[in-house]
Chains A and B, each alone.
Chain A
């Protein structure tokens, strides 16, 4: 294993060789997105890694100052394109906190459901792709096939497959109908079979274990010092989870556990993600069983949320309310104040620092992206390991390029 190779004396006592530089990515098959790493190598050992971001130039935060709170959900979607509904939930969670809106019980459960579905979707891709990068192609195919069923759910509930744009201020676009619930149940029935297939392929796979164990070790103190959150921190023994420790939506009413490991290596982060999928499945089961009836949006009388299409076209109040929110120079009024709110996204703390100036446009929409923070830890994790370990460590951090360069 590489960690022990480092201690071998002949490597250390070798005459100081000239190091060479390797550009790893962008668009390397194993970086998945547009990441670029400038690696300084001594043979195959990494002396120094300099991550270079800023390849997409998306300007999401500037756009947030020019799109209103309902429109911006389409941009929030695209920040983490692996689990879009979670970003929507985070964004409107912040807006609703700014406005002081209490959601209806049904809406809270629906947001929990789409959030946990996207957590499973994100972890499936992350664990599957980690396996793919280390040579286990079949596990990736199983995971990706299951993800397709989650996309089917998105398509059924909103009409869009990849970027649903499903939440609205004070509610969601459409209520769940029976077909959506049926698709969620089908997905949940298939989940356990795929999970057990993946675990049979990976958990005792000698090559996979050797490539992951003892690689990229992050201690608990370092995880906290480097602001890590989510599975990366929980793989190092930090048990903090916003769903448990600062609960939001319907999470206090649901029973689940926060899995963690103490080793802090790639394997620990992988196992935390695998176990979190099981917990999300458990949450989904309860949320479906407890899903309350009643309205999903706030009443029109509150003058906050966009009425659904049926109300807009069939009632005068709905039409007026739609007009009031959509026409320029109208819309609702917000407090002249600022608020920070965060949720537990698949990768960790996903927060928004939202400054409002009284209009329905954000004055400043700062995103706290988990991938950005985790990518900054990468140079410290990779130092001293081998070139082949870059792929293992990158995969275990789950870095999303659109979150790096907002």
Chain B
């Protein structure tokens, strides 16, 4: 008889149960694709959700943090920028993706550095490439581009070959350096 029944076991069942007992309904929405479980959360509740995942559900490792620009993405209704946090539970090898969206006039998210110091450079990179600010970050500066750079290169409205910023870089001569 066991062959006929579905033997699908949801690896995230325990986590979702814990989260729903903490948050109830309506704080985050979820979607699944392949083996990724994604939780979409409003920026105001982001840190709360990450903290709950870290302390109550055992997601100790912030494996990855990155941003994306959805300007002109087919069928897009949510906010323009989204930042994703990939968390891993080192005991059970469970992986979960948390996503938070922000919009253009003032794209600001709370910083995850107090939770994971490893988020430091990754948040700086998102800021450098997309212009998404992280409130509470200890040292939010550009990391890949030079400090004089004014644009955000990975935004969709930034052309592949640039807008000529590189020609305006200050030139240091050997005498001044």
Residues of A within 8 A of B (CB): 53-54, 57, 59, 61-63, 66, 97-98, 100, 224-229, 238, 240, 245-246, 335-340, 342, 349, 351, 353, 355, 357-358, 363-364, 366, 368, 372-373, 375-377, 405-406
- State whether B33 touches A224 (Cβ < 8 A): no
* Cβ contact of A224, chosen from B61, B125, B144, B146, cutoff 8 A: B61
Residues of chain B with a CB closer than 8 A to A100's CB: 34
Residues of chain A with a CB closer than 8 A to B84's CB: 340, 353
* Cβ contact of B143, chosen from A53, A61, A238, A353, cutoff 8 A: A53
Dominant secondary structure at the A interface: mixed
Residues of chain B with a CB closer than 8 A to A246's CB: 93, 95
The docked-state distance in angstroms from the alpha carbon of A373 to that of B145 is 17
The docked-state distance in angstroms from the alpha carbon of A358 to that of B61 is 32
Q: Tell me if B116 is interfacial: C-beta within 8 Å of chain A.
A: yes
When A53-B143, A54-B143, A62-B153 are in contact, do A227 and B118 touch as well, CB less than 8 Å? yes
Residues of B within 8 A of A (CB): 33-34, 36, 60-64, 66-70, 73-75, 84, 86, 88, 90, 93, 95, 97, 116-122, 125, 129, 143-146, 153-154, 160
- State whether A368 touches B63 (Cβ < 8 A): yes
- State whether B61 touches A62 (Cβ < 8 A): no
- State whether A240 touches B93 (Cβ < 8 A): yes
- State whether B63 touches A225 (Cβ < 8 A): no
For this complex, 13 residue pairs linking A to B, each with C-beta atoms less than 8 Å apart, are A53-B143, A53-B144, A224-B90, A227-B61, A227-B62, A227-B118, A228-B118, A339-B34, A342-B63, A351-B63, A353-B68, A368-B63, A376-B118
- State whether A368 touches B144 (Cβ < 8 A): no
- State whether A225 touches B118 (Cβ < 8 A): yes
* Cβ contact of A340, chosen from B64, B74, B145, cutoff 8 A: B64
Residues of chain A with a CB closer than 8 A to B145's CB: 54, 57
Residues of chain B with a CB closer than 8 A to A54's CB: 143-146
Residues of chain B with a CB closer than 8 A to A240's CB: 61, 88, 90, 93
- State whether B66 touches A368 (Cβ < 8 A): yes
- State whether B90 touches A376 (Cβ < 8 A): no
